[in-house]
Chains A and B, each alone.
Chain A
Amino acid sequence: MSNIPASLRYAKSHEWLKAEADGTVTIGITDYAQNSLGDITYVQAPKIGATLKAGEVFGVVESVKAASDLYAPVAGTVVTVNAVLESAPETVNRAPYAEGWMLRLKPADAAAAGALLDATAYAKLVG
């Protein structure tokens, strides 16, 4: 069974989103996604300051098995990316909801995250 924290929101494309106290959102991929991909070998992150539309490709995650696009769950501007993943992409396998986070966005619409799946709905999707 994959780990699906109740406090997060989820996209059907297997990214998670966490609302931070400062109004930004942190985004990564779910435990289910990292487990399906297997050993992650490369994460291509967007440029800081880039503007993303909801559903737009923001990067690529590669495993030994395949390369997969990453999609922005909500629209926003890239505030920062996780530099650790450049040299240690396997961090995503080890801690997908913590040290393996991918980027932080300043959302265009603060309420947009509400339209994403909650943990129960995401669990149903991957169940």
Chain B
Amino acid sequence: MSDLKRTPLRDFHAAHGGRLVDFAGWEMPVQYRSILEEHKAVRRTAGLFDVSHMGEVDVRGPEAAKFLNHLVTNDVAKLFPGRVLYSPMCYPSGGVVDDLLVYMRGAEDYFLCINAGNIAKDLAWMREHAVGFDVTITDRSDDYALLAVQGPRAAEIVQSLTGAKLGLVKYYHFAEATVAGVHCIASRTGYTGEDGFELYHAASEAVTLATALLQAGASRGLELAGLGARDSLRLEAGYPLYGHEITQDISPLSAGLGWTVKLDKGADFIGRAALSAEKQNGAAYKIVFFKTGDRRIVRADTPVLGADGAPVGRVVSGTLSPILNEAIGSALVTTSAAAQPLAVDIRGTKLNLHLVKPPFVELKKSTA
């Protein structure tokens, strides 16, 4: 795996029994002990994830806000310093380039977190569309490492390592904080449906911070968790994953992310015309979430069958919910079929899909 990119924690993972695999060109731990056990630990107590493969971008300049509001579908003008915004970034067709987090640090100072597999594509897209705006776009992906501490005891664990008052940092807010002596952007966000923090910090400090978090978490039930658990946790929470629920061909409206598309935000943005038309005419396809009552995993690309047995779509994500002990997933189906009985064929057995409005499990997200 010598041509794979490595995070500063690669050797830390290997030393802690991480099973390293190729993920979007990165050598990443898919699991340590067990995907199912790591998943349950995050729901029950806490998990520590290395997500340093994610990309970071500085967007600075007098027209940073104006540029970003042209670039993304959600309303960047609603931000204030210390506030985080989730948004898709679309093509003119309404399909998705990527989904990202926008951090406002100051009037002319924004910070983005983007998907690892999309870093080069996103930067090219942003630079192409920055022409005419007074902004500077800087790729910071190699400078930052990112650790996510997630779960009911996550905040308590991070708090034990900092003098900053983390209770003041509400959900989808962030603050600068020194955690275990490491300067961090402490962001009360995550991809598991649990309370917790994502800690952006200098790549050179990653081992120090990870070691301190693991130590502080040991007595509080914290476990190292890999990308396998991260995926099942996000699916159980009903969060989209780029390349699955949202793609170049699946718009945020089709994906059920209408709340992130602010057609009336008072700024024209890339994809607005197409998304406006899609909203008016109704999307032809939509993402639905399902469970089956059976343990057989319904994997991505499995055809979804309508009432008459003809294909009406395909599964885009599927796993076993370790909490429900049954298969859960999401599928892209024709909008007209979404109200009909749906089924899949798994090795000759027909399984009915029971549609669910996610999350699949009760989440005790930050009450903050």
Contacts and interface: CB of A to CB of B under 8 A. Distances in A.
Interface residues of A, number: 13
A40 to B, nearest CB: 9
A39 B296 contact: no
Interface in B271-313: 295-297, 299
Interface stretch (A2-10, A59-67, A102-110, A119-127): A59-67
B34 A41 contact: no
B36 A60 contact: no
6 pairs of A and B residues whose beta carbons are closest in the complex: A41-B320, A42-B295, A39-B36, A39-B35, A64-B35, A39-B34
A116 B295 CA distance: 33
A38 B296 contact: no
Contacts of A90: 36
23 contacts: A38-B30, A38-B34, A38-B35, A38-B228, A39-B31, A39-B34, A39-B35, A39-B36, A41-B36, A42-B295, A42-B296, A44-B296, A60-B347, A62-B296, A62-B297, A64-B35, A64-B36, A64-B232, A64-B297, A64-B319, A67-B299, A89-B295, A93-B34
A89 B36 CA distance: 12
Interface residues of B, number: 15
Given A60-B347, A64-B319, A64-B320, A38 B297 contact: no
Contacts of A93: 34
A41 B31 contact: no
A8 B31 CA distance: 30
Contacts of B31: 38-39
A64 B35 CA distance: 8
Nearest to B21: A65
Interface in A62-108: 62, 64-65, 67, 89-90, 93
Nearest to B229: A64
Contacts of A42: 295-297, 320
Given A39-B35, A41-B297, 11 more contacts: A38-B30, A38-B31, A38-B34, A38-B228, A39-B34, A39-B36, A42-B297, A44-B347, A62-B295, A64-B36, A64-B228
A67 B320 CA distance: 13
Interface string B1-40: 0000000000000000001000000000011001110000
Interface string A43-61: 0100000000000000010
